[in-house]
Chains A and B, each alone.
Chain A
Amino acid sequence: MADTTVSLAVRSAPPAPSQAPPGGPRGGRVAAWIRRGGLSTLVIALPMLLCFGLFSWFPIARAVVMSFQFTNLVTAPEFVGLENFTYVLSDPLLPVAVRNTFYFAVLALLFGYPIPLLAAVAMSEVRRARGLFAALAYLPVVVPPVVAVLLWKTFYSGADTGVFNTIAGWFGAGPFPWLQHPDWAMPSLVLEATWAAAGGTVIIYLAALTSVPPELYDAAEVDGAGIWRKIWHVTLPQLRPVLFITLILQIIGTSQVFTEPYLFTGGGPANSTTTILLMIYNYAFGGRGDYGAATALSLMLAVVLAILSAIYFRTTRRWSTT
């Protein structure tokens, strides 16, 4: 099928000029490019290219340059080679931030990966009011993240009159130091993050579930499969490409976690929720204005994530296409 498309495209291309036009070979190529619609394509793409160039690619290029400079953006920058990188790599907070980010990612995967999947599967099994359940699941996504975090922050009050502690008190438990203890703070952050983000993933899974051919379920049912076997042998294999994508997106997303630690705890208590992105933020805006160190760490994070993504796609390519 793919071959047919290619051959049709080749056939529909204008014939190559048999003779060079008066403008010479280069002029001919330009004229042909314009005739083929290259110019109009460029004009249409230009606003997008400008926007991306100005607001995305230029800052990225600028950040790469800044990572090799000592700069506070006020005085003249000074090129310092790899000093920013060695400084960041020798910062004793870096291993702590990496560990915390990894911990957040693992907890978020444990809580945040299966829950939306189970919710979507459960919703897809519901005959009535599926839209209502989907809307309810999606509702937290509509709440602005800052509002959600500040709301949960009051719920997490360490006093025995706090919302969650009051609820825990009904069952004779607590009060718990939700955000006020190094061991409790990160799971508390992940709990809110899962609540806030699960709705979006549920919608993706629900959409993917509609593409699962119903006859596969019918066939499984005829073969005597129960609901769990149908999920295991039909639903999950059919969702595999989507599951892979959401997994890598979640890994990338959790590696860049910032809002929750910044607003809930500011990285505390005792750096127990300081993540890599929060560290980058503190380098840049924590008072010192060390933009060189901030961009160096950003660059390292981007490279690590790119490598991680490449390895992930390479190792899972075979599974996702079979």
Chain B
Amino acid sequence: MKSRMIAPLAVVALTASLAACSTGDDALTPADADALADEEVTLHVAIDEGLEEEAVEAFETRAAEFTEEHPNITVEAQEYTWTGTTFAADLAGGTLPTVFTVPFTDGRGLIERQQIADISALVAELPYAGQFNETVAAAGQSADGAQWAVPVAAYGQGIHYNRALFAEAGLDPDAPPTTWEEVREAADTISEETGQTGLGMMTSSNTGGWILTTLVYAMGGRAEAVEGDEVTATIDTPEYQEALEYLHAMRWEDDSMGDEFLYDWATSHADFGAGKIGMMISGGGDYGNLITQNAMNPDDYGVTVLPLEGDDAAVLGGGTLAAVDAKATPAEQAAAVEWIDFYYMGKLTTQEGAVADAEALTAQDQPVGAPILPVFDQETYDQSQEWIADLINVPLEQFAPYSDRIYDQPLAAEPPAATQDLYATLDPVVQAVLTDESADIDTLLADAEQQVQTLIDRG
């Protein structure tokens, strides 16, 4: 009788002590996880919103396979797709799934503010933990290098272009621009010859700062300088000045940027999909959205790398992180890492996972095999592409200007501190340059730098 009472008490005590650990400075350790390995857990995992029946079935099959391996874990699928504003509310309200995904941009902020669970000790135990591409891994690391969130997909920024508009303007769709001057000329030609927007520029919901910073990175600049624990905003710089003057010239001298200067991610992609935009700078992994959600004709799609000009020019990286709810119990955290390893990383590291994922995508007519950046190394990526070679359904030759060169371009992580705040502060700067011909770029940049520094210092 006594022993039957002690066992649950011990579990409660262990759970309570682990809970205390998890909310303190110490992360859940592998030893803790082992102690909880057999505890019954219900794990709420994210499943994309609005999937077709076949895709849901494919997901359930994967979940059943997982449960077979981990009989103590019950998997409950919860519809979830990351959107900036609903994510903030869900995070605050505690209504996120236990395992969810976020863009790289949000990773460092969530970690700094301890809004996700510290699963770094468990991630370190995964067999491939030391093999992540360093730049990619940085998006999910705390300042001391602990991997709080796991990168599950990565891309480098690129220039998406409409091959049909290129052809209509008399440009060669197989030879997209390779310098910023050529980009400007191509935009001007498209605008002149087709009447459509030459270069569409996102400027709202933090995308203005994001794309401006992409330009700055490609011109050799950076948004922040890190020295020890100190982060300094580096916005009032020649590179930001150059990038804004470049946009100003395209807008006011060439008039090649169309009539819409308040694009956000969704509206710019909708117009690009509708054939109203000749070129657009965005993440290299946007093909799926453009084809499936914005009904773009796959034949019209083209993508190329960003021209890199300047001493330290680099491609701004992006991607997706898998993270765990900060309020998850230790047992849930342990189960969540098992799920991340099985479901998200299995696609990249095992043939079974890669094929299952590709089949699920095929089932709902989603693109399979669009080139992205390796989360690990080139070899692992090539291997995973080989596994799904028979299922690839995207026009790979149209990706060639991007995929032939992106792997050789230096990749740089996003600004580490207050990333979204930095982008948000730069939105009005970009908007001012595109909507006011007499905008004072010097003052705009000086003010923005001061504001961003205040936000970095606020923590």
B-contacting residues of A (Cβ < 8 Å)? 72-76, 87, 92-93, 157-159, 175, 177, 179-182, 265-271, 282, 284-291
* Minimum CB distance partner of A87 in chain B: B458
Contact with B89, one of A93, A181, A270, A285 (Cβ below 8 angstroms): A285
Task: Tally A-B pairs: CB < 8 A.
Answer: 111
A268 partner residues in chain B, CB cutoff 8 A: 203-204, 261-262, 427-428, 431, 435
A267 to B208, CA, bound (A): 13
Q: Which of B65-73, B107-115, B292-300 contacts A (4 or more CB under 8 A)?
A: B107-115
Tell me whether chain A's interface is mostly helix, strand or loop, or mixed. Answer: loop
Number of interface residues of B (CB under 8 A): 43
Whether a CB of chain A sits under 8 angstroms from the CB of B434 is yes
Minimum Cβ distance to chain A for residue B437 (Å): 10
- Asked if B91 and A289 sit within 8 Å, CB to CB, the answer is yes
- Asked if A75 and B85 sit within 8 Å, CB to CB, the answer is no
Contact with A270, one of B93, B106, B428 (Cβ below 8 angstroms): B428
B258 partner residues in chain A, CB cutoff 8 A: 159
A-contacting residues of B (Cβ < 8 Å)? 23, 84-85, 88-89, 91-93, 106, 109, 113-115, 203-206, 258-262, 264, 326-327, 418, 420-421, 424, 427-429, 431-432, 434-436, 439, 447, 450-451, 455, 458
A76 to B458, CA, bound (A): 17
10 nearest interchain CB pairs? A287-B420, A158-B259, A270-B432, A73-B92, A269-B435, A269-B431, A285-B88, A266-B204, A159-B259, A74-B115
A291 to B88, CA, bound (A): 11
B261 partner residues in chain A, CB cutoff 8 A: 158, 180, 268-269
Given pairs A75-B326, A266-B262, A268-B427, 18 additional interface contacts (CB within 8 A): A73-B93, A75-B114, A92-B447, A158-B259, A180-B259, A180-B435, A182-B435, A266-B427, A268-B204, A269-B434, A269-B436, A270-B428, A282-B424, A285-B88, A286-B84, A286-B421, A287-B424, A290-B458
A282 partner residues in chain B, CB cutoff 8 A: 424
Given contacts A266-B205, A269-B431, A286-B420, contact A182 B92 (CB under 8 A): no
A257 to B418, CA, bound (A): 28
B106 partner residues in chain A, CB cutoff 8 A: 287
- Asked if A266 and B264 sit within 8 Å, CB to CB, the answer is yes
16 intermolecular pairs with C-beta atoms under 8 Å apart: A72-B92, A76-B23, A87-B458, A158-B260, A180-B259, A182-B432, A269-B432, A269-B434, A270-B428, A270-B439, A282-B424, A287-B420, A287-B421, A288-B420, A289-B88, A291-B92
Minimum Cβ distance to chain A for residue B399 (Å): 31
Minimum Cβ distance to chain B for residue A63 (Å): 13
- Asked if A92 and B114 sit within 8 Å, CB to CB, the answer is no
* Minimum CB distance partner of A159 in chain B: B259
A181 partner residues in chain B, CB cutoff 8 A: 435-436
B434 partner residues in chain A, CB cutoff 8 A: 269
* Minimum CB distance partner of A265 in chain B: B262
- Asked if A182 and B436 sit within 8 Å, CB to CB, the answer is yes
- Asked if A269 and B84 sit within 8 Å, CB to CB, the answer is no
- Asked if A74 and B114 sit within 8 Å, CB to CB, the answer is yes
- Asked if A180 and B262 sit within 8 Å, CB to CB, the answer is yes
* Minimum CB distance partner of A179 in chain B: B262
A179 partner residues in chain B, CB cutoff 8 A: 262
- Asked if B109 and A287 sit within 8 Å, CB to CB, the answer is yes
- Asked if B204 and A74 sit within 8 Å, CB to CB, the answer is no
Contact with B115, one of A72, A177, A290 (Cβ below 8 angstroms): A72
A181 to B435, CA, bound (A): 5
* Minimum CB distance partner of A184 in chain B: B435
Minimum Cβ distance to chain A for residue B192 (Å): 16
Contact with A74, one of B326, B421, B447 (Cβ below 8 angstroms): B326
Minimum Cβ distance to chain B for residue A148 (Å): 18
* Minimum CB distance partner of A76 in chain B: B23
A284 partner residues in chain B, CB cutoff 8 A: 88
Minimum Cβ distance to chain A for residue B133 (Å): 25
B109 partner residues in chain A, CB cutoff 8 A: 287-288
* Minimum CB distance partner of A286 in chain B: B424
Minimum Cβ distance to chain B for residue A9 (Å): 49
Q: Which of A180, A282, A291 is most buried by chain B, counting CB atoms within 10 A of its CB? A: A180
B113 partner residues in chain A, CB cutoff 8 A: 72, 74-75, 289
